[in-house]
Amino acid sequence: MRLSKEDKARNRDNIVESAGRMFRTRGVDGVGIADLMKSAGLTHGGFYNHFPSKDALAAEVCRASFERTLGRLAAAFDGSDGSRTALKHLLDDYLSAEHRDAPDGGCPSASLVVDAWRQDDQIQEAYAEGVEGYLTTLAAEFSREATRGGEELDPAEARDRAVRLLSGMVGAMVLARAVGRVAPSLSDEILDAGRRR
């Protein structure tokens, strides 16, 4: 029962979408092909009509996740009204209990960081591109806010701050998740301290 091109494309999107949610929650190793195809409403055998391997899917998922969150980030910066800096707003959203407890729709920098380290290079490639995108966007916003405040900001310094901000956010998030089930108050404390940055 061959499907139309539109149906096939929709199925492919569904696979990437649900794999994206599952990989971010359980890690690439924590989700089987059968799991993820079932969650997309299909059976496991058809997987290879869409992707050459699980690693290739993971790389695509990484790309797609970064693309979406980067888009949201850029939109938030563009729509910023200046009453409160957009970067402060980002920090509060990022280091929230909601984000910690729902990795599936959240930032791939934090949820896929170890998969990028330990899995295939394809995934690391997509991950590194995503991180670079984040840094560029963050550095631009640092510069924009400085300019708006009438200050001068060396581009290298803006970049430096972007790197430290991302490191701090990712570190706080992975730590908060790593103690979340057994030490919830420590986990909250880590998020709180990060927000007071």
Residues 28-57 that bind DNA (CB under 7 A): 31-35, 37, 42-50, 53-55
In the complex, the smallest distance separating the C-beta of residue 36 from DNA, rounded to whole angstroms, is: 8
In the complex, the smallest distance separating the C-beta of residue 13 from DNA, rounded to whole angstroms, is: 10
Q: Which one, 49 or 147, has the nearer CB to DNA?
A: 49
Q: What does 75 bind: a copy of itself, DNA, none (CB cut-off 5 to 8 Å by kind)?
A: none
| Binding stretches for a copy of itself (CB under 8 A) | 26-27, 29-30, 109, 112-114, 116-118, 121, 124-125, 127-128, 131-132, 159-160, 163-164, 166-172, 174-175, 177-183, 186, 189-190, 193-194, 196-197
- Please give the Cα distance from 177 to 113 (Å, whole number): 13
- Please give the Cα distance from 28 to 110 (Å, whole number): 14
Asked if residue 71 lies in contact with residue 134, where contact means CB atoms within 8 angstroms, the answer is: no
The percent of the chain in helix, strand and coil, each rounded to the nearest 5, is: 75, 0, 25
Asked if residue 170 lies in contact with residue 109, where contact means CB atoms within 8 angstroms, the answer is: yes
Q: Nearest CA to 49 among 5, 101, 115, 112?
A: 5
Q: What does 47 bind: a copy of itself, DNA, none (CB cut-off 5 to 8 Å by kind)?
A: DNA
Q: Which two tokens stand for residue 147?
A: 């300019």
Which residues of this protein are in contact with DNA, per CB under 7 A? 1-8, 11, 31-35, 37, 42-50, 53-55
